[in-house]
Amino acid sequence: MMQDIPRLNADRACPVCGATTHVNFADEHIDQERINDFTYASRKQPEFMCLRLVRCTSCNLVYAPNPPDNQFLSVAYADAAYDSSHEAQCAAQSYAHALAPYVAHLRGRTVAVDVGAGSGPFLPWLVDIGFQTVIGVEPSRAAIKAAPASVRPMLREGMFGSELLEGVKPSLICSFMTLEHMEDPGIFIKTVYSLLEPGGMIAVVVHNWQGLLNRALGLHSPIIDVEHLQLFNPSSLDTLLRNTGFEDIKVKPICNRYPIGYWLRLTPLPSSVKGVIDGVLKKLSVSDMQLSMRVGNLLAIGIKPEQE
């Protein structure tokens, strides 16, 4: 249980394009009583709490101008509770499906790195498609502990940075649903760029705040979350990769496959109503049935030029 979130002293500029002109997007809504170990865990019950959010009038990124400081975030993620194994498997399958056609064209297959790997559900796929070395970087101890014995040796505990990957020249660095959580996504993308071998690929998946469903749900969308320090749309994601030097950038909406019961948990319905519907779904034995939906997630890939 935490008392108060320590903040930066001054508002930050847009973390993608550096502009300082913005319009209001959402007022801060934080209930200190409800901040707990699960607040910084992935795939939890939505809490509908958020930091003050603004929209950059230059690149259309939605971001928190006054996020918690980095040290606070490091500790919060290291201590985050972990409760999402089955859903993490479903998400990993969705990402593999979306990424497969692009990775097929990748020439290098030496090292693949997954940043924010959780308990490592995506790593076996990277091994299967022929990478010689597969590394997952993950700050949460609980997530690493939850990894299957066959995957755990591939996981490295800590926040992503060149120190954790010294001497490694990856052909592919991927990261799913993590850019929203970073104090500075620009530094992350630059670090990825510097680590990759020439011709290497970055692949990220993010929420799209302009996705139809997210716009329909407005401030009740599960993407409006105290953990999210920025929210992308196709143009801000493209800008982020392009400004760093990546080429052949593609930004595409992707489908996510999850059990129906999980989709229900994400809806903004009151929990009493969810309980009733959940009971009916379980009675009909359809709660675990997989449902594929486009919920406003974006895959972006980019290639580091062979010659700079």
Residues that bind Zn ion (CB under 5 A): 14, 16-17, 19, 56, 58-59, 61
Closest approach of Zn ion to the CB of residue 57, in Å: 8
CB 156 within 8 A of CB 135: yes
Decide whether 233 or 297 has the Cβ nearer to Zn ion: 233
Decide whether 62 or 90 has the Cβ nearer to Zn ion: 62
Closest approach of Zn ion to the CB of residue 203, in Å: 22
Amino acid 290 reads Q
DSSP per position, 267-308: S-S-HHHHHHHHHHHHHTT-TT-EEEEEEEEEEEEEE--S--
Closest approach of Zn ion to the CB of residue 157, in Å: 33
Q: At what angle do helices 234-244 and 185-195 cross, to 10 degrees?
A: 50
Decide whether 17 or 78 has the Cβ nearer to Zn ion: 17
Decide whether 19 or 216 has the Cβ nearer to Zn ion: 19
- Burial, 249: exposed, middle or buried (Cβ in 10 Å; 0-12, 13-18, 19+)? middle
- For 111-133, give one letter per residue: b (16+ CB within 10 A) or e: bbbbbbbbbbbbbbbbeebebee
Closest approach of Zn ion to the CB of residue 176, in Å: 23
Closest approach of Zn ion to the CB of residue 232, in Å: 10
Decide whether 56 or 155 has the Cβ nearer to Zn ion: 56
